Amino acid sequence: MIKYNLICRHDHDFEAWFSSSSDYEEQRKKRFVQCPYCGSAKVEKAIMAPNISTSRKKEAMASRRKEALAMMNEAAQTIRKEIEEKCDYVGEKFADEARAIHYGEKEERAIYGEASLTEAKELHDEGVTIAPLPDTIIPDPSKKLN
């Protein structure tokens, strides 16, 4: 895919994506490329600065990635701590516990544990609200079983 900055006869600037430069030319000749502001099919490529990768850009991108990863890790740690403090770990009894809570056989509370794909599907089919937890937010399962 290639992105072009385009300009119409009325000086409206806009961007468009094409599978190739020949695809752009073909669509332009058939008047398929039109200005989204005024509908003019008289469209040309605008002057574009090349996107040159410099060491400064690479360093800035690496820094942004590092910051984003740190933010995600911090968020995962916060969620993990919330689960640990406010939810009961029920281990492999998760499906039975979730079902019992759903049907009012046990007091309602937040739980987490393990369930097979078959058990999870059965719970879903019964209308039991469940959600898988990503590995990054699952607390240490050595927490005492309830």
Residue 116 lies in a domain: yes
Query: Please, what is the Cα angle at 119 between 116 and 120, to 5 degrees?
Result: 85
The answer to whether 26 and 57 are in contact (CB under 8 A) is: no
The answer to whether 111 and 87 are in contact (CB under 8 A) is: yes
How far is C-alpha 24 from the geometric centre of its chain's CA atoms?
Answer: 31
Classify the C-alpha dihedral 52-57-58-61 as positive or negative. negative
Structurally, how many domains does the chain consist of? Answer: 2
- Residue 14 tokens, joined: 């806009």
Same domain, 121 and 62: yes
Which tens digit of pLDDT belongs to each residue from 53-63? 678 888 888 88
Which tens digit of pLDDT belongs to each residue from 26-71? 999 999 999 999 999 999 998 776 666 678 888 888 888 999 999 9
pTM: 0.54
Residue 145 lies in a domain: no
Beta partners for residue 88, in sequence order: 111
Query: Could you list the residue range(s) of the whole structural domain that residue 129 is in?
Result: 55-137
Same domain, 92 and 24: no
